[in-house]
Amino acid sequence: MAHNTVCTGCSLLCDDIEVELKGERISSVKNTCYMGVGRFVAKHKPIAKNTATEISEVVTLLRNSKNPVIFGLDNSTTGAQKKGIELAEILGATIDDSSSFCQGPFVEAILNNRIPTCTLDDIRNEADVVVFWGADPQNSHPRHLSRFSYFPRGEHRQRGWEEDRNAIVIDVRHSDTAEICRNRFYKIPPRGDTEFIEALTKAIQGKVSKTSFGFDVKRMLELANILKKAKFPVICVGLGYTYSASVDLMQALIESLREFTQCHVMPMIGHYNMYGFNRELYSKTGFINRVSFKDGIKHDKALQYVWFQ
């Protein structure tokens, strides 16, 4: 018998998944991408229940800790995230998640109403121009183009990618997504995002600006005109941009575009409920991550991580 469920393989949360059960195990999955198959089949195991002794040991460990840190919860339900924040407050602990070193700056800007965003359904139904900046959804969010941003027939985009949509890629490499959008691929050098977005913002304002890496001015003006004439443009920001250029520059670009059209930004978040954690913590503390409850509520900017490979 088939059961309908939601895939938590990435932040798209595809809700058209069908699974077949054989006993307590999943025997087959329909409608998933390769990431979803891995989530449902390869990693599926019966849920192990913690014993009272194990829980007691964890409680003792936490009570005796001097500087506990709770990290993660990006792939947890909102209810579990709320409990995690409550636990951090009780312990006087520091709580954090992966947004500290990925899309946190954009999530914070959205929650502070500095940058306008939209939903995936808005993109499917309304977007006529979608820009993937430093993002390769064909690999990071495999059903993004097929289900939401390029190929589907939306409510006001019935003719789909053939006539109703433009997909644009701005990136340092010719990615799989760039291959699909080959006629609208704008290649920039590594760390060239800052200079490119500054030149693009000027082009939208009707000013001509050359880049030090010699990007074709005519193509820059062409991109600016495509964005200005769009009815519902969306810029999907990937880590390639986040690690190279600032939120302030993206905000300046959006403000320039909003003189002509209603442009939106969507950070390409990987973990399925990172935004949920950020929103819950923000509503309680005013910060989206790196919060210490040790002496009141503080933003622990000094928190650092060391990675071992």
pLDDT of 149-179, one tens digit each?
Answer: 999 999 988 887 878 899 999 999 999 999 9
* 129 Cα distance to chain centroid: 18
My answer on whether 114 and 232 are in the same domain is yes
Q: What is the span of the domain harbouring residue 68?
A: 54-102+273-299
Nearest-angstrom CA–CA distance, 123 and 11 = 15
Is the pLDDT reported for residue 309 higher than 50?
Answer: no
pLDDT of 48-106, one tens digit each?
Answer: 666 788 889 999 999 999 999 999 999 999 999 999 999 999 999 999 999 999 999 99
- Name which of 105, 101, 126 is nearest 114 in CA terms: 105
* 31 Cα distance to chain centroid: 22
Nearest-angstrom CA–CA distance, 52 and 235 = 49
The CATH number that applies at residue 208 is 3.40.228.10
pLDDT of 12-40, one tens digit each?
Answer: 999 999 998 887 788 888 999 988 888 88
My answer on whether 64 and 196 are in the same domain is no
pLDDT of 103-123, one tens digit each?
Answer: 999 999 999 999 999 999 999
In a domain, 307, yes or no: no
Nearest-angstrom CA–CA distance, 79 and 280 = 10
In a domain, 309, yes or no: no
My answer on whether 119 and 262 are in the same domain is yes
Q: Report whether 232 contacts 128 (CB < 8 A).
A: yes
